Structure 1
């Protein structure tokens, strides 16, 4: 048996709350990615919840058990920024107290069309205990950093003991390393009668 399914030490569940009109049909998209933090490979389970009002009831269920939340607004559209307080309240009420929340101002490549200042958003983040950065999904600037910064903070919370890995709502799963030889157990598993597995 190969060790490929266990090529990471942790799984972190992330939710992305985007304050924008997106072409989502059901309100949620899912993806995974493996990153490295402090020499540990971490698999991110990323749930993109769209952040649209019409999907709000559906997407709230995805907040539970999130280790990290990325709240994304459009720096060129003040209306997306104005909804942050409401979505932050949802995120805080529906996630565990140790969920790491990072505020991301998207479209940093459109400086000439800016409608929300960096300083204003940074102050909002500081007042609410959020990590903060601006990024551009178009150019890729700081996109990777958003995921990495949140993961570093989650990993730090694991290391300092403020995140209980045994709590189901932590949003973190610790994956065991496969023992030598690639087997998950050292004893052979009995074959059930009539089962070809």
Structure 2
């Protein structure tokens, strides 16, 4: 994946398909990459397509345990646990954003403020000092 996918993210939902083992195996790669760009954001692991075989909900998935990540069993097809998953993810993201200690968030905020300052200085029809009148001599 590209780093831009993580830009300004405040939470991550990592989904694998319970019917396709390769998607589960890819979680480690995705997680390592995520942590390179966003080391502190909350992350949720999702086992999707439980409607195909409900017995999969009895399985233990070590990836989530290894990293102490919450695991949700969902079915996008029939909606099982989808609303709960997104409600919880939103709650985690808002909490993270309000209480972030991640230096990357501070840097991103400074860049955003800098961009806003630059835009204010270059408003068309307005003098650079923002007063609309010539600068004092």
TM norm. shorter chain > 0.5 = yes
Aligned ranges for residues 12-27 of structure 1 at < 5 Å?
none
Distance in 1 of aligned mates of 2:107 and 2:68: 24
Provide, for residues 56-115 of structure 1, a one-character-per-residue CA deviation record: whole Å limited to 9, x for no partner: 3xx3322122101111100111111111101111111122x3211110011010116x7x
Check the 8 A contact 1:65/1:168 in 2, yes or no: no
Q: Is 1:66 equivalent to 2:9 in the alignment?
A: yes
110, 127, 130: which one aligns with 2:66:
127
Distance in 1 of aligned mates of 2:72 and 2:21: 17
Give the number of equivalent residue pairs: 112
Query: CA distance change for structure 1 residues 169 and 66 in 2, over 3 Å: closer, same or farther?
Result: farther
**Which structure's CA Rg is the greater one?**
2
Root mean square deviation, CA, Å: 2.9
Partner of 2:45: 103
Structure 2 residues without counterparts, runs of 5 or longer: 110-124, 127-137
Secondary structure at 1:73's aligned position in 2?
strand
Relative to total residues, which structure has the larger strand share, 1 or 2?
Answer: 1
Distance in 2 of aligned mates of 1:75 and 1:125: 14
Query: CA distance change for structure 1 residues 61 and 155 in 2, over 3 Å: closer, same or farther?
Result: closer
- Residue 131 of structure 1 deviates from its aligned partner by 1.9
Distance in 2 of aligned mates of 1:94 and 1:68: 12
